[in-house]
Amino acid sequence: MKRRILAAIMAVLMLGMLSVQAFAVESFDGTTQPIGLGTLSEEDLAVLRTETSGECTECSGNSNARHYNAMGHTHHVLEITAQYQTSQFRKTGAELLEPVNSISTLAVSEALGVSNSYTTDIEFSDSVVTAALGFSVSYSATTTASYSIDLDPGETARIDIYNVFNVKEFDCLTIWTFNGSTWNEYGEGLGKQWSHFGFKVVYT
C-alpha cells in the first residue's frame, strides 16, 4: 500500500513539472549573469529524494528543525503549480546628484549577501522541498553586484539594484499517523531561488 501511495505521488509530481508555466522575463537596463543559486545536480537530487521518501527524520528529537512533532509522518510535494520570475528592490547602489561638465561614469560594484527561501502554510520539511524544487532552499552566498553607465554632461542619475528570483509554487501534503490512525494535511508552498541582480537606471 505504501509503495502504491508513493508511486501515485511521484506520478502527480512529474505531471505537475511538465505542465508548469514558463519563466517571465523582467525588464532591466542591465543584469549580472544568472546562476540559479544552490541548484543541485541530478545525482544529488536522486539521492536526496530517496532519503526523504520515507518517514520524516528531521522532526523527532530535533527542536532546532523547521518543525518539531513526535508523531510519525511523511511529507510530500504533490505538484508544482506555477513557475515564474520576480524581482525585489534591494538598494540604490550608486547615485550622481550634481551634474558634471563632461562625460562621466556612474558605477556600482558591491559584494552583497543573497539566499534562497521557501514558505508553506503547513508544517513541512526543508529537505523534501529541496528535493522537489531542485535547489537548496536554505542556501546562501555572497556575490558581487557590478554595473556602470556613461552620463552625458548635465545628466544626473542613480542605479537601483534588484534581487531577481526564480519562483516555484507547489501543493504539498503531510500524512500523519498516530495510534494506528492516519490523516492527511494538505497545504500550499512557495520556493524562491535567487538568480541574479537586475539594475535599473533612474535619471533624476
pLDDT in tens, 139-151: 999 999 999 999 9
Average pLDDT over the chain reads 85
Would the pTM of this model clear 0.85, i.e. be above it? no
C-alpha cell at 13: 509530481
Q: What is the pLDDT of residues 61-92, one digit of tens each?
A: 444 444 545 578 899 999 999 999 999 999 99
Residue 43 DSSP SS3: helix
* pLDDT for residue 63: 42
More confident residue, 172 or 11: 172
In the chain the beta strands, taken as DSSP E runs, fall at 30-31, 72-96, 104-115, 117-120, 140-151, 157-178, 181-203
Q: The C-alpha cell of 121 is what?
A: 502554510
Distance of alpha carbon 131 from the chain centroid:
13
For 93-121, write each residue's pLDDT tens digit: 999 999 989 999 999 999 999 999 999 98
For 69, the 3-state DSSP assignment is coil
Please give the full DSSP string across 102-157, using - where no structure is assigned: S-EEEEEEEEEEEE-EEEESS---HHHHHHHHSB-TT-EEEEEEEEEEEE-TT--E
Query: In the chain, where are the structural domains located?
Result: 2-203
CB 132 within 8 A of CB 170: yes
Residue 2 above 60 pLDDT? no
72: exposed, middle or buried (Cβ count in 10 Å: 0-12, 13-18, 19+): middle
